[in-house]
Structure 1
C-alpha cells in the first residue's frame, strides 16, 4: 500500500526515539522510500548510523556538512516527500512548530513542506497534560497537521498515564489511512455548521451554550485531509480551521440564512453546531438594569436548521449530532428520521470526557439503514476521522 511513497521521518530528542528504528524498518517493508532528519538531541538516544542503515539513505541533521560543505537543502527535502511525519515529537520542537520558530534543519524543512504533515507526540505525563502542550497541539491541528495522539501507559519516569508515543505499527496504520484518504473526496464540497449560537437578551446578555467549536474544526480538518473543499458557518466559538471559507455568525436565524445560501452547492453537510433551541421573543435595545426581584423572559422556538435543510436534500449526504442526557439512543434515532439524516453521531453528557469544551468524545453512529457502531472514548480528531471514513465508505 505504501509502495513508492516518499516518507520523510523527523526524529526529536525523546526516549521514544528508539522506536524510530522499528518504524523505519516497517516503512521499508511496506515498500516506502524513507529519508530521515534528526535533531541534535535525538542523536543522544539513537545513532544516525542505525537509521541510515535501515533507511538506506543518509541521515540529515545539519544545514551543511562541515567537512565538505555539502548543503542539505531543506526546501528540496520538503518538496521530495509525499508525507512528513515527526515521531517522536518532543515538547521543545512542538513549541517551536506552534510559534514559527526555525532554528534547525527539521523546523526549516517543516516550514517548507508542501506535503501533509503528521506528528506523534511523546513526553512525560505532566508535560503532556500541561496547558501549553494542549494549546500548542491545538495550534498545530489548526494549521492542518494531523496529530497521532499519545497513548496511555508506563512512562520512562516511572509514572503511568498519557504521554507514550504511538507504537510503530499504529503509526503505519495512521499513514495508510492518510494515504488512502488523501484524495478520496477530491472535488467534493463540504458544508459544516459549528460552535454555539448566541441569542440576544439585551446588548450585553445572551442565551447560549458552552460549545467551543473543537468538534466542528476537527471535522473540517479531517475532510480537508481527504481532498474536500470546506465551508464552515460558525457561531462565536474559540476554535476555527485555518483553511476553506469560514462565515462567522451569532444567532440561529443568521446561521440558517448562511447555511441556506450554500446548501445547494454542497455534496456533504455536517450539522455539528450546538444551536440554541429558543431565543428571547423581544430582545431589548438598552441594557436591562437590576431593579426588580423577578425578571421574566418570554422565549420562542428557533428554526430547526437541520430539519429545514433536510427537506431540500438532493443527492446530498447529511450528518447530524445528538447530545443527550436521557433516553439517548431513542432520541438519537428519532432525530435521524425526523431530520432526514444519513448518519447521526450520538454523544452523552453522562460520559466522562465527552461533551462541550473537551478534547475527547465518546460517540455512537446510527445510520438510516439501522446500522449501529459504538466507539470508545477517543480524541475529537480521531472521532472526526471516523466520520470522514464512514462518509467515504458509504459514498463509494
Structure 2
C-alpha cells in the first residue's frame, strides 16, 4: 500500500502556473473518477482512494494505491488533465510518500504550510475537499483515517499553541497595502468583486476603516445583496463593471471564474475617465480575475496573492515561537498514524490465518458429526477431534522448523515461544 501526496503550492510555483493547475469545483468529481481509474484492478486494495485539494495557494492530490509507479502516473495524469507539458510541470511538483505525506497533511491543516502562518481558512478548504471526495466515492479506509486524524491534529495544534495569535490574514494585508497608497481609506470608494469567504473577510476588514462607499459586485445578485446589506454597502451587477469601474479607488476581486473579469482595455478606459487618479487593485483569485498586463499601467497598483505574501510574512515572526511546539505535536501524531498503518498491513495475514483455521475447524467438525451419526462413542469422537485439530494446527510451524536452515531456523526458534506461549515465553 502506497500513500502519496503530490502537488504544488506557493512555495514551489508562481501564481501563473498555480492558476493553470487549479481545479474548478465542478471538475473535481470527474477528476477524482479519472484518478481512481489509474489504479483500478489493484490486487492488494479493495479500491484505490483519492482526494483533491485545490485553493489559490495550492493544488494537491492525496491518493492510496499499490502501484509502484504511482508518482509517475499521477504526474502524467495531472499534465494531461490540464494540458500542461509534463516538463513544465514536474520541476514545481513535490511527491511525498508515506510518513512524509502524513506530516504534510497535518502541517497544511494546522496552518504551518500556509502563506499566512497559522491561518484557519485552509482547514475549512481541506474539509470541503474531503467531503467532495467522500461524495464521489473516492475515500476509503486509509484516506478517511488520515483526514480524520488530520482534523484532530489541527484542533490540537490550535488549542495547545499560539500559532494563530497575532494573526495576519490576506485581508489584513490588503488593507495594509491600501494604507500605504492612500492617506486615508475613509475618503476612498471600494469595490469588491465576488461574495465568497475571502471577499467576505476582505470586505469586513475594509469596512472597519469606514470607507467613503463600499460596493459588492457578484454573479449571484442575492448573495451580493446579502453581503452588502450586512456591511452597510451597495450591491451592483457584474454587467455594470465596464461602465462603473472608473468610480472606484480600490478594487478587490476573488471569484471562481476561469477567465479574467477585468481586462487591460477596461482599466485603461477607467484610468482615463479618472484623469489618471491612482487605482489600487487586489486580485486574490486563482485563476486570476484581472489580466496581469494591468499591472504595467502607470496609475494602477495591482497586487496578486503572491504579492501579498511579502506583506503577510512581516507578521509571521510574531508566531514563530509556537512553530516548534506545533511541529513536536505533529511529529508525535505522525508516529501514531504510521503505527496504525503498520498494524493495518498485517490485517490480510491475520484474515488468512483465521480463514485457514476456520476451514480446519469446519472440516473436523463435519468429520466428527459423521462419526456420531454412525453411532461411534462420543468420547472417542471428541478425542479424535481434538487430536486431529492439534495435528493440523501444529503441522505448518513444525514443518517450517524442520525444513528451515541457518538464520531462518534461528528466527523461527525465537518466534515459537511468543507465538505458542511455550515454556520459553516470558509470559508463563
TM (norm. structure 2) is: 0.27
RCO comparison, higher one (Cα < 8 Å, 6+): 2
Whose strand fraction is larger, Structure 1's or Structure 2's? 1
Which structure shows the higher helix fraction?
A: 2
TM-score by length of 1: 0.29
